[in-house]
Amino acid sequence: MDIVIISLAILLSIVGVIGCIIPGLPGTPLNYVAMWLIQWVSHPFEKSTLIIYGVLTIAIVIIDYMLPVWFAKKYGATKQGIWGSIIGMLLGIFFTPVGMILGMIIGAIVGDRLAGKSTSDATRSGFATFFGTLLSMGLKLSVSLLISFFVFYESFNFFYK
């Protein structure tokens, strides 16, 4: 049974890292669940470690939603521009990660243009939205990769003790 749980933890960790890039998958929370599964089987982590990574996971989830919106508002994006970036990103998912990024930028620009902003202002806020999303994605990915490292390390230790 322990092998199944460890395997599930490894799978959740991999999906968690992918979820940091693909919207809709809760990347960092999946990695944190993987960490708890490892803890359940072999108890390698101290309580303080689990608490710290739990707080980091919650902070990352909040930051993930707030950072792109903050950047967009800071650089003058309208509600239509923000919604355009979200719609563009979701449509772009079907065309690889590059499509997702381009969809986000184009959607933000189109949304701001529809709201009456000039092309240069719309482009500026579109790229700010993109930068905020990229920064958020990088933070998620950093924490998820760190948790994944611990999951893989402890899994390896479990199998090769």
* Number of domains comprising the chain: 1
What does pTM read for this prediction?
0.81
| pLDDT digit string (tens) for the chain, length 161 residues | 888 999 999 999 999 999 888 777 889 999 999 999 999 998 999 999 999 999 999 999 998 888 887 888 888 888 888 888 888 888 888 877 778 888 888 998 999 999 888 888 889 888 888 888 889 889 999 999 999 999 999 999 888 87
CA–CA separation, 151 and 143 (whole Å): 12
As given in the structure block, the two tokens for residue 56 are 């980091």
Integer Cα distance of 89 and 35 in angstroms: 30
Full domain range(s) for residue 19: 2-159
